[in-house]
Amino acid sequence: MELLFFFSLLLVILLLVLVFFQQKRIEKLTKPKYGFLGKKLSVFVFALLGVSLLTGGLFTLNRNTSQNGDLNVSEITNNNTNFFKISYQTLENNKIKFVAIPFINNKPWNGIDKIDIYWEISPETGMGRKILQSGATRENNQGITISVQKGKYKVKAVFNDGKLDLFGEIEILFSE
């Protein structure tokens, strides 16, 4: 009887020791000892960051920021004595500045102090833009500046207040 008691006590102690070592082993195996493929992850993170910064830096250095293209402009004739003459100036980074000068009886700004100009820029494909230039005067006519992509555009300037009707239109072909 004593032997059976001693043997069962030994078996219980052995099982407790076995459970204790198994728990330690499970705990050791569930905690990662290494990073990715046996290496520390910080090395991979810094290497990836360095490569991406180097690639991005080379891309921005090789990029041409002043891509000025060729601009062909044709003015659409207007037989009225009251009209807008649209002048243009090419700027850097594919931008064009348009200024509309009102002609009344074929004379610039003849009797006009202040005018609101409605601009409409219509590309051959895609959506157009409408811009209001308010308060243009002979001394302060800033015009509008737009960015253009390769393609054909119609640029219109319109003014109508019920008494006076002004209209001007040009077509531009922008090719890089």
Position 65 scores a pLDDT of 47
List the Cα angle 112/114/118 in 5-degree steps.
105
- At residue 105, does pLDDT exceed 60? yes
> Which pLDDT tens digit goes with each residue over 22-71?
999 888 877 766 666 656 777 778 888 899 988 888 777 665 444 455 66
- At residue 19, does pLDDT exceed 90? yes
| DSSP letter (8 states) at residue 39 | B
Q: What is the pTM of this model?
A: 0.57
Residue 45 Cα to chain centre, angstroms: 28
> Which pLDDT tens digit goes with each residue over 62-77?
654 444 556 677 767 6
